[in-house]
Amino acid sequence: MRLLLVEDDGSIAEPLIKGLEREGFEVQRVSSGAAAIAAPEADLVLLDLGLPDMDGRDVCRELRSRSDVPIIIVTARGEEIDRVVGLELGADDYLVKPFGFRELVARIRAVTRRSGDNRDRNDGPRSIGPIAIDRRTRKVSVGGAAVELTRKEYDLLALLASDPGALRTRQEILEAVWDEHWYGPTKTLDVHMASLRRKLGDPTLIETVRGVGFRMHVSPDE
What's the confidence (pLDDT) of residue 98? Answer: 86
Say whether both 206 and 171 belong to one domain.
Answer: yes
Q: What is the DSSP string of 62-97?
A: HHHHH----EEEEES---HHHHHHHHHTT-SEEEES
Q: Is residue 221 part of a domain?
A: no
Q: Is residue 222 part of a domain?
A: no
pLDDT of the chain, 222 residues: tens digit per residue: 899 999 999 999 999 999 999 988 999 999 999 999 999 989 899 999 999 999 999 999 999 888 888 999 998 887 888 888 888 888 888 888 888 999 999 889 888 876 655 554 445 567 888 999 987 788 899 998 999 998 889 989 988 988 888 888 888 888 888 765 555 556 788 888 999 999 999 989 999 988 889 998 876 555
Q: Is residue 102 part of a domain?
A: yes
- 0.85 surpassed by pTM: no
Residue 120: which H helix or E strand, with range?
helix 101-121
What's the confidence (pLDDT) of residue 64? Answer: 87
Say whether both 115 and 130 belong to one domain.
Answer: no
What's the confidence (pLDDT) of residue 6? Answer: 97
Say whether both 35 and 106 belong to one domain.
Answer: yes
Say whether both 98 and 130 belong to one domain.
Answer: no
Say whether both 132 and 100 belong to one domain.
Answer: no
Question: Cα separation of 99 and 59, whole Å?
Answer: 22
Say whether both 105 and 8 belong to one domain.
Answer: yes
Say whether both 105 and 132 belong to one domain.
Answer: no
Shortest CA distance to 156 belongs to which of 170, 140, 177, 175?
Answer: 177
Say whether both 64 and 136 belong to one domain.
Answer: no
CATH number at residue 54: 3.40.50.2300
Terminal-residue alpha carbon distance, the chain: 43
Domain hosting residue 150, numbered range: 122-216
Question: Which one of 119, 137, 171 terminates a domain?
Answer: 119
CATH number at residue 204: 1.10.10.10
What is the number of domains present in the chain? 2
